[in-house]
């Protein structure tokens, strides 16, 4: 009997506590809360800050699920493939769009855009094609361009400005040291700094992408391949890859990337991607760093290497072209979400002109023309002009439903050649064509 009494008292206490809690909970928590999934990196923190305005305006609470880049694709593709409803909104990688669209994982946004007056003409064309459309170059939209990004370069401006460096460089190469205009010049600079002592510390040339596990080396080598004339397929005959993927120029591009890796990277850089590049640059190890623009606001603020010490430049030109690897993502509504109406409300809010301006100001990269075409934009940040230029010359990897397989094949072939010294560049690219053909054949593609 005594135990029953105790139980009743405990239940009453819990009920009272709950009712008090409910009374003090903010208004929006009583309404809906939606979850946004993305990668764990600097722009995600900016988005958290930005989204507070959405909650204040709509009363809809925001939860965030951020996963480090190394597990980002695994985690969220698994979530989508298992029809999970964890994410109401997802900022998914550009290459996922084909699979997500064809497998019914994203909500098609055409009707919604039409109803809300959201026009894709208001966004940079490259970002619309890269982040929103499937099939590519058709008006079928599965995402709103959310985070523009591309591969760019940073350099140690303070090292370039040193009289001893300037003197030695001129003596060796017969020209002034400066921002490289071509990949050949970039290699000269990297080679010049490799093993050099600066302030009593041994430094190295460049940090480039060499990671094997996810997408690193592909995202890196592409910047060289595109510049040397590599094409994914025959522009006149889709999926016909012979002579485009493995052209003589593409082979030279792959060889040039390997040369840069061998001559001018720090020891132990055989598995480097975004974070390893940041570490190498922030710790003062390298003169040049290949990385996505998304990291540049953070680097500029870095107390050790930021401010006047850092400079930014676009991927230099190669013998055939000047292009760069597209990064960035669009924001999509997950079709398994139980809160689609609220998720769409978020997209509508996010597309607003003022929100896009604030997004850029906080450290996100807007894709809206209203922000990017503003005359004040190029001067709004030390890397804004380079970002704008890069977005005008981006090329993306395959965005086919089988992109993961295509990516894995390139990761293996390129890493085997560049890092593990297996075979020749020609063999690597011929092998890649063979792998990609097999994958497309399995997909039922005709070429």
Partner 1 sequence: MNELSASSRITYRAVMVRPSVARRVRGLSDKTLAWLFITPTIVLLLAINIFPLLWTIYLSFTNYRANRANVPTIWLGADWYQSILTDPDIWAAMQVTAHFVIWTVVIETVLGFGLAYLIDKKFRGHGMWTTIILLPMMLSPAVVGNFWTFLYQPQIGLFNYVVAFFTGRAASSFQMLGDVTLSPWAIVIVDAWMWTPYVMLICLAGLRSIPDYIYEAAEVDRASKWRQFWSITLPMALPFIMLAVLFRGIENFKMFDMVNLLTGGGPGSTTEVASITLKRAAFESWRTGYSSAFAIILFVTVFGLANIYVKALNRVKSR
77 binds partner 1 (CB under 8 A): yes
303 Cβ neighbours under 8 A, 6+ residues apart: none
Minimum distance, C-beta of residue 247 to partner 1, in the bound complex (Å) = 23
Q: Name the residue nearer to partner 1 (CB basis): 231 or 412.
A: 412
Minimum distance, C-beta of residue 78 to partner 1, in the bound complex (Å) = 7
Q: Write the CA distances from 23 to 27, 30, 326, 405, integer angstroms.
A: 9, 10, 49, 52
With beta carbons less than 8 A apart as the criterion, state whether 324 and 152 touch.
yes
Among 16, 20, 68, 74, binds partner 1 (CB under 8 A): 74
Site for partner 1 in 318-377 (CB under 8 A): none
421 binds partner 1 (CB under 8 A): yes
Instruction: Give the total of residues touching partner 1 (CB under 8 A).
Output: 34
Q: Name the residue nearer to partner 1 (CB basis): 140 or 408.
A: 408
Among 81, 110, 119, 373, binds partner 1 (CB under 8 A): 81
Look up residue 439 and give its two tokens.
Answer: 């994958």
Minimum distance, C-beta of residue 290 to partner 1, in the bound complex (Å) = 18
Q: Name the residue nearer to partner 1 (CB basis): 102 or 164.
A: 102
221-224: list long-range contacts, CB under 8 Å, 24+ apart.
221/253, 221/254, 221/257, 221/414, 221/418, 222/151, 222/325, 222/395, 222/397, 223/151, 223/290, 223/315, 223/323, 223/324, 223/325, 224/183, 224/253, 224/254, 224/256, 224/257, 224/260, 224/318
Minimum distance, C-beta of residue 194 to partner 1, in the bound complex (Å) = 12
Minimum distance, C-beta of residue 11 to partner 1, in the bound complex (Å) = 27
Among 371, 415, 432, 440, binds partner 1 (CB under 8 A): 415
Site for partner 1 in 176-215 (CB under 8 A): 211-213
Q: Name the residue nearer to partner 1 (CB basis): 6 or 81.
A: 81
Minimum distance, C-beta of residue 416 to partner 1, in the bound complex (Å) = 4
Q: Name the residue nearer to partner 1 (CB basis): 81 or 424.
A: 81
Minimum distance, C-beta of residue 440 to partner 1, in the bound complex (Å) = 14
426 binds partner 1 (CB under 8 A): no
Q: Name the residue nearer to partner 1 (CB basis): 31 or 213.
A: 213
CA nearest to 139, candidates 121, 124, 152: 121
With beta carbons less than 8 A apart as the criterion, state whether 436 and 245 touch.
yes
Q: Name the residue nearer to partner 1 (CB basis): 165 or 280.
A: 280
Among 85, 270, 275, 335, binds partner 1 (CB under 8 A): 270
Q: Which residues bind partner 1 (CB under 8 A)?
A: 73-74, 77-78, 80-82, 99, 102-104, 211-213, 266-271, 285, 401-402, 404-405, 408, 412, 415-417, 419-422
């Amino acid at each position: 009997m005594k135990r029953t009494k105790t139980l009743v008292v405990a239940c009453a206490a819990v009920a009272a506590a709950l009712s008090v809690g409910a009374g003090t909970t903010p208004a929006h928590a009583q309404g809906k809360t939606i979850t946004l999934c993305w990668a764990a990196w600097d722009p995600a923190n900016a988005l958290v800050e930005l989204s507070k305005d959405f909650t204040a305006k709509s009363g809809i609470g925001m939860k965030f699920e951020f996963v480090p880049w190394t597990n980002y694709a695994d985690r969220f593709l698994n979530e989508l493939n298992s029809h999970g409803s964890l994410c109401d909104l997802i900022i998914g990688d550009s290459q996922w769009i084909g699979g997500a669209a064809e497998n019914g994982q994203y909500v098609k946004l055409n009707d919604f855009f039409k109803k809300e007056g959201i026009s894709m003409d208001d966004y940079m064309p490259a970002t619309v094609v890269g982040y929103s459309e499937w099939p590519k170059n058709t008006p079928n939209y599965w995402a709103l361009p959310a985070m523009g990004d591309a591969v760019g370069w940073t350099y140690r401006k303070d090292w370039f400005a040193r009289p001893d460096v300037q003197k030695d460089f001129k003596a060796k190469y017969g020209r002034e040291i400066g921002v490289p205009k071509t990949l050949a010049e970039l290699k000269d600079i990297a080679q010049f700094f490799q093993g050099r002592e600066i302030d009593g510390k041994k430094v190295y040339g460049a940090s480039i992408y060499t990671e094997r596990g996810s997408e690193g080396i592909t995202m890196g080598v592409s910047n060289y391949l595109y510049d040397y004339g590599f094409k994914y397929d025959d522009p006149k005959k889709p999926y016909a890859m012979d002579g485009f993927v493995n052209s003589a120029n593409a082979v030279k591009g792959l060889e040039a990337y390997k040369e840069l890796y061998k001559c001018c990277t720090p020891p132990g850089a055989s598995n480097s991607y975004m974070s390893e590049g940041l570490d190498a640059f922030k710790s003062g190890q390298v003169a040049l760093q290949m990385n996505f623009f998304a990291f540049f606001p953070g680097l500029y603020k870095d107390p050790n290497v930021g401010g006047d010490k850092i400079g930014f430049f676009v991927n230099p030109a190669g013998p055939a072209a000047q292009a760069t690897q597209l990064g960035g993502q669009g924001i999509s509504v997950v079709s398994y979400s139980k809160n689609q109406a609220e998720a769409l409300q978020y997209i509508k809010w996010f597309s607003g002109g003022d929100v896009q301006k604030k997004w850029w100001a906080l450290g996100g990269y807007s894709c809206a023309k209203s922000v990017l075409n503003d005359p004040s934009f190029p001067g709004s940040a030390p890397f804004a002009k380079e970002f704008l230029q890069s977005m005008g010359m981006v090329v993306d990897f395959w965005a086919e439903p089988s992109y993961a397989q295509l990516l894995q094949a390139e990761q293996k072939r390129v890493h085997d050649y560049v890092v593990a010294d297996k075979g020749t560049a020609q063999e690597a690219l011929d092998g890649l064509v063979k792998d990609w053909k097999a994958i497309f054949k399995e997909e039922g593609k005709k070429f």
